[in-house]
Chain A
Amino acid sequence: MIEARGLSKRYGVTLAVDDLSFKVEAGKVTGFLGPNGSGKSTTMRMIVGLDAPTSGSATVGGRTYGSLRFPLHEVGALLDADAAHPGRRARDHLNWLADSNRIRRTRVDEVLDTVGLTDAAHRRVGELSLGMGQRLGIAAALLGDPAVLILDEPINGLDPEGILWVRHLLRSLAGEGRTVLVSSHLMTEMALTADDLIIIGRGRLLSSGSVTDFIEQRAGHHVKVVTPDADALGALLRDKGAEVAVDGPEELSVQGLESRDIGILASGAGLTLYELSTQRASLEDAFMELTHEHAQFKGMPTSLEASAR
């Protein structure tokens, strides 16, 4: 388990992380979300003791990272996939890391196999592709068979197959009871991978909790109805207390009634339906709504912003 209590980091006049408190539970994938520059990496660096907090503290399994003696056995971290000497062979990169925490060398072969780099083990790090470098970084994080994994943007530079692989890997790591904290600025990816979310903006905690709760609370859902009798059905549904918005000549957007009830009402009134479907808000929409007022850089033209969605 990872816990942050009142974690803050100040760089000069900028407060990169501002009184952040959260818990990351074991057995789940926790997505750490926030726009670029919101303080995700700084927070992760403080958890693994690279940067000292200005105030507050972070613990892993109840202990501060700096008090761990062979920390790779407890915490595996991927903070920067380029963090390797380009002239060193991939296997040697893992070997020195294993030696530093007295991890047996056979384990190096195991993790190379896990990430699919066995055949590239003799190649120099500088000769690896972006995706292979990312896999090597993940191998380094897995090396000590740790109970806690902290991964900063692990799918950066991966091809679709690699992304799918990381998704499965994270799920199975959490399935084994490990604590998995994974940062991303890609909401859609987190919707597929994460159980819990910690969302920050400008270094502050905006929301934390389960993915499903987050979507329910932040954006809810509506029912899309396509019918030739839009006016009649609209009036009927409003009578039953639903909120009805007209999206087109034949299209309604209904909130407050489930699709099942709408279907029963329509058939009772003899109205034809072409389409009746529940529309769940995506994590992307909920996230945009939440971080909109907290965006680091304002003044983006509305049209651009809309197309970015």
Chain B
Amino acid sequence: MTQVLLSQGTLPATDERLPGVFLAVCRSEWTKLRTVRSTMWALVFTVISTIGLGILLTALVVGHWDHRSASEISGFDPLLYSYAGLNVAQLCIGVLGVLVMTSEYATGMVKLTFGATPQRHLLLGAKVLTFSVVVALVSLVSCVTVFFICQALLAGRHAGLSIADPGVLRAVVGGALRMVLIGVIAVGVGAIVRHTAGAVAILFAVLLIIPGLVQLLPAPWNNDITLYLPNSAGAAMSAVVRFPNLLAPGAGLLVLLGYAAATMVVAMELIVRRDA
């Protein structure tokens, strides 16, 4: 067993430049991501909620088409129902994003990770980028798929949108981008909190509980604040019709980008400063 011990003289030049280190770490993070089962399950649930819920809600609207109220008809956004599933999908992405970071701490693997890459800011950057690319691809495919299925359902009522209609392509890409940014926030929260349960609780509070609590505030505070919560800002990114209770798509993107950037700045600072 100890015969073929160690191949001698295989040390490559180790003064690799940082971009080279970054690429190697991205590959390593991709290997990590695809070799645990939680990744596959979270992504399957993401796709199912995005596509399944979109079809379900759109089919319900189509079903009671002739009984809609005047307000339902005037404020109808064909994409609103198609992308209702994103509100659930973002939770799946969020949990996976948290796990990408906290599972390292929970298993103690982070010692090996930091030992292999002492440039921790670079490591976190590679983690976020790799995860973002995976989320972007999966979300884009499901957003495009659910778009075409739902619009085909609505086409029977002559209410469907074409991908070439103004603002539609932007809204489809916006839906996927929303998932990516939620994912980035989740990885950041995971890096800050370092415990799975705590990080998931914070994420769910932000996405599920705080919107409800804010609604209890006296007007106009409730609606003004709601506009800027991650949920509403994200929903605004894939709206085609302008609603008074949503920001403009570009503004929604900027708000969500702001949350993601702020989380990452704190996470970067802490991951370098704290002991593993």
Contacts and interface: CB of A to CB of B under 8 A. Distances in A.
Interface string A94-136: 0111011110000100100111100000000000000000000
Interface stretch (A79-87, A196-204, A266-274, A276-284): A79-87
Interface stretch (B4-12, B144-152, B154-162): B4-12
Interface residues of B, number: 45
Interface in B7-48: 7-8, 10-12, 14-18, 20-21, 24-25, 27-32, 35-38
Given A52-B275, A74-B14, A110-B7, A88 B28 contact: no
A307 B221 CA distance: 73
Interface string A14-57: 00000000000000000000000000000001001111100000
Contact of B107 (A84, A168, A172): A84
A294 interface: no
B1 interface: yes
A122 to B, nearest CB: 12
B14 A69 contact: yes
A114 B7 CA distance: 11
A107 B8 CA distance: 12
B103 interface: yes
B2 A169 contact: yes
Given A50-B114, A72-B116, A101-B116, A145 B11 contact: yes
Given A85-B109, A92-B31, A97-B116, 10 more contacts: A70-B14, A80-B108, A82-B108, A83-B110, A88-B32, A89-B35, A99-B27, A145-B6, A169-B5, A176-B8
5 contacts: A45-B111, A72-B115, A100-B113, A102-B20, A107-B7
Interface of A: 45, 48-52, 65-74, 77, 79-80, 82-89, 92, 95-97, 99-102, 107, 110, 113-116, 140, 142, 145, 147, 165, 168-169, 172-173, 176
